[in-house]
Every structure is written in C-alpha cells, then in structure tokens.
C-alpha cells in the first residue's frame, strides 16, 4: 500500500508554508475564495509558490469562479491543481487546463452518484453544512466512503488526534486538513502540523 498523501490547506504565509514542507506535506492548499477567513491574495501566493520545492504540489481552492478566472489565477501564481468547492458541473471541470479535484459535501450515500458524473483526478470529501462550502471542522461518517469510483481525498474535521483512525478506516489516497492544524483562522500551529503528518504517515 502506498503511503497516504498529505495536504495542508489554508496556507496564507511563507512561514506556515515552510513549516508544512519541513513536516513532510505533499501538497499545500491556497484558498482564492474571498468569503473564507483563509483567503490568500494571488500576488502573495505567487511569492510563496515560487519558493516551494519541486515535488510539493501547490493547489488552488476555488468556489464557483469562472473558468477564465481559475485558469488565470493558476497561471499567474504557479498553482498546479484546481480544487473546486462550489457547484461546478462536470462540463466546467473538463474545460480547465489543469488537473482538477472536485470537492463533494457528504451527508449520505448520494455523494457517490454525484461523483460518478465527474471525470477528475480525485474527489475531496468534506462534511456537509447548509451554510458553507467547507472548513466546517467537523467529521462525517467515514463508512459512507466505501466503494468510491474515484481516488478519495478525505477532509472534514481531521486533526492530529483522529487522522490515524481516519486513514485506517477509509484508506484514502490523501488526507486534507486546514482548521485542524491552526491556532487561529489563517495561522497554523506548527507543532500540530508535525503531529498530523506523523500520525497520518504512521498509520499508512
């Protein structure tokens, strides 16, 4: 079994990016949705991405942005993968000029039929909430993941205390955390990042 990939999301500054890289993160997430407390200005992200090692993947997080906006921001910042957290259609995903991760909010088995329509590199499964597109800090029933037609990136309430159990239960392609390793929105706790990576890797 391949080791689980690890993404640290909601990076807003170089210090946190460096800490995540040193801890062993495979990917860093940068949020371009202005409604998020973890929003990062594209110009700032470009500076951070320019300093990343070659095998750490920068991921851009978007919510209901236009195709041209997604591709334009990715081009100007060096983002390699587009992670879509809104109501983007399968056709929308197919129009983008880079690999796509489609986020789906899970509350029951119906996410599988939704996912089946998408021809994307992976689906990111997050906890359903009526009032937001992600970042709830809450887990969902991991048993609902069984039988996914896609690679699964598991998200939703993951932290250093529960990620090992999550990996053993779901066997995901990757795990993703943002609020679970923060001291406040947009500012990471570097000790929690290290603990998260160690726990995730130790269980895979």
d(CA 16, CA 56): 14
How many domains is the chain partitioned into structurally? Answer: 1
Active-site annotation, residues: 9, 126
Lookup: tokens for 97:
């000029």
Model confidence at 40, pLDDT cuts 50, 70, 90, reads very high
d(CA 99, CA 203): 27
Q: By the 8 A CB rule, do 39 and 33 touch?
A: yes
Q: By the 8 A CB rule, do 124 and 93 touch?
A: no
Model confidence at 146, pLDDT cuts 50, 70, 90, reads confident
The enclosing H or E element of 158 equals none
d(CA 4, CA 32): 26
Please give the model's pTM, rounded to 2 decimal places: 0.94
Say how many C-beta atoms besides its own lie within 10 A of residue 159's C-beta.
18
In 24-150, beta strands by DSSP E: 27-31, 57-62, 81-84, 100-106, 122-127
d(CA 152, CA 199): 18
CATH of the domain at 122: 3.20.20.70
| φ, ψ of residue 124 in degrees (nearest 5) | -105, 125
pLDDT digits (tens, 9 = 90+) for 152-197: 999 999 999 999 999 999 999 999 999 999 999 999 999 999 999 9
Find the farthest-apart pair of alpha carbons in the chain and give their distance in angstroms, rounded. Answer: 41
The enclosing H or E element of 114 equals helix 111-116
Range of the domain at 109: 5-202
Share of the chain above pLDDT 70, in %: 95
Q: What is the mean pLDDT of residues 83-95?
A: 96
d(CA 23, CA 190): 9
Q: Beta strands 187-188 and 182-184: pairing type? A: antiparallel
- Asked whether residue 132 carries a pLDDT value surpassing 90, the answer given is no
Q: What is the pLDDT of residue 58?
A: 98
């Amino acid at each position: 079994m391949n080791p689980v990939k690890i993404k640290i999301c909601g990076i807003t500054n170089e210090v946190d990016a460096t800490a995540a890289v040193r801890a062993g993160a495979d990917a860093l997430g940068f949020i371009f949705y202005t409604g998020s407390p973890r929003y990062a200005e594209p110009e700032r992200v470009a500076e951070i991405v320019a300093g990343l090692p070659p095998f750490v993947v920068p991921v851009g997080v978007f919510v209901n942005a236009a195709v041209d906006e997604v591709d334009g921001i990715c081009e100007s910042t060096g983002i390699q993968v587009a992670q879509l957290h809104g109501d983007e259609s399968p056709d929308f995903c197919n129009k983008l000029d880079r690999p796509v991760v489609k986020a789906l909010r899970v509350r029951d088995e119906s996410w599988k039929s939704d996912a089946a329509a998408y021809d994307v590199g992976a689906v990111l499964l997050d906890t359903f909430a009526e009032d937001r597109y992600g970042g709830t800090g809450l887990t969902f029933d991991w048993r609902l993941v069984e039988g996914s037609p896609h690679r699964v990136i598991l998200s939703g309430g993951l932290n250093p205390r529960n990620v090992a159990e999550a990996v053993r239960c779901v066997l995901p392609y990757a795990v993703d955390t943002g609020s679970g390793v923060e001291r406040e929105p947009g500012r990471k706790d570097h000790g929690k990042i290290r603990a998260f990576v160690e726990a995730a890797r130790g269980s895979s």
